[in-house]
Homo-oligomer: A and B are copies of this chain.
Amino acid sequence: MSPEILRSWNDGATKRAIIGFVNESTTAGSPRFIREAERIAAFDNDGTLWVEQPIPAQGPFLFDKLMKRVDKDPTLATKLPYRAIINHDEGFIHAIARQQPEAIQSLVEAVGDAFEGTPAEVFDNAVREYLDTHQHERYGKPYTELIYQPMRELFELLRAHDWRVFICSGGGRDFMRVFAEDLWGIYKENVIGSAPVVEYRDGRMVRSSKVYGRLSIGPGKPEDIYARTGRVARFVGGNGDDDQQMLELADFPLVIVHDDDQREYAYTVGAEALLPAADRGGWTMVSMKNDWKTIFEGRRP
C-alpha cells in the first residue's frame, strides 16, 4: 500500500477495512466487485465532512437572515423559530438535529419565506460573503478551514477507483454548492440536499418559498440520491440519525464517531439511534480520536 493513501489515517482495522473494500469493489471476480456505473458514493456533510458543533455552519447564516425579518416585523419574535433564535434555545437546535417535525417545519417555512424571490446568484454571493467573514467560535477560523482532512483523502481514494462522489446533506443544497467545488473537488451537480424550488422567472433563476421534493433527512436521503442518480449509493458515510436509511442500503456503511473532545468534540446528540444500530456489526465505525492522525490541515485547500 502506498504510504500516500489515507495518509492522515492511523494504521488499524478501520483503515484496512476501507482500503480492502475499495480494492475489492474494483477487482473483477471479487465477491464485492461493483461495476463502474454503479460506483456511487454519498456522504452526509455536517459532522461527516466538517465540524457541526456547536452549530452547523448554515445556522448563523440563516439565523442572521431571520433576525432581519424580526427587525422589520417585531411580532415574529414570539413565534418559532424566531423565538428560539432570540433566546439561544439549545433545545431547538437539538430538536432540529433529532428531526423533530414541528421544529423542522417552522424553520423550513421561515427560511423559505425569507429567501422567496432572491435570484440564485444573489443567494450565492451572500453565502460566499458569510463563509469568508464568519469565524467558528472555538477555532477562530472560517468553517471552510474546518473540514476533515481524512475525508478529503477518502474522496481521493474513491475517485482513483472510479467511484463518483456525491454529498447528500439535510442542510441546504444551494448553500453547499457554493463551496463544494473548491473545498471538496465536487462539481455542484454532485451536491444533493434540501432545497427550494428555484424557478425560471423573466430569464433568471429565482428562489421560491416551496420545498423541492422533500427534505434530505432520513428516508429523504435515499430518495434524493435515487432521484438524482437513478441508483442507491453503495458506499455511504454519515454521522447522525438522519443518515441511517442511506447507510442501511450501502454495501459499505461508514460512520464517523465524534469521540475526540480534545481536537474536535465528543457527542452523541442526533446519533442516539444510529450509534447502537451501527454497532451491531458490519458497519465501519470511525473513531475520530483513534483512527485519525490529523483532523484539520489548518488551511484552505
Q: Please state if B120 and A195 are interface contacts (CB–CB under 8 Å).
A: no
CA A40 – CA B223 in complex, angstroms?
24
Binary flags per residue of A39-77, CB closer than 8 Å to B gives 1, else 0:
010000000000000000000000000000000000000
Confirm or deny: A181 has a beta carbon within 8 angstroms of a beta carbon on chain B: yes
Given the interface contacts A181-B37, A213-B212, A213-B213, does A200 sit within 8 Å of B227 by beta carbon? no
CA A205 – CA B248 in complex, angstroms?
13
Q: Please state if B181 and A198 are interface contacts (CB–CB under 8 Å).
A: no
Contacts of A189 in B (CB 8 A): 40, 164, 189, 228-231
Q: Please state if A203 and B120 are interface contacts (CB–CB under 8 Å).
A: no
Confirm or deny: A197 has a beta carbon within 8 angstroms of a beta carbon on chain B: yes
Binary flags per residue of A180-205, CB closer than 8 Å to B gives 1, else 0:
01000001110100010111100101
CA A191 – CA B230 in complex, angstroms?
9
Q: Please state if A174 and B230 are interface contacts (CB–CB under 8 Å).
A: yes
Confirm or deny: A222 has a beta carbon within 8 angstroms of a beta carbon on chain B: yes
CA A200 – CA B245 in complex, angstroms?
9
Binary flags per residue of A249-279, CB closer than 8 Å to B gives 1, else 0:
1000000000000000000000000000000
Q: Please state if A227 and B164 are interface contacts (CB–CB under 8 Å).
A: no
Confirm or deny: A232 has a beta carbon within 8 angstroms of a beta carbon on chain B: yes
Binary flags per residue of A120-164, CB closer than 8 Å to B gives 1, else 0:
100000000000000000000000000000000000000000001
Q: Please state if A226 and B245 are interface contacts (CB–CB under 8 Å).
A: no
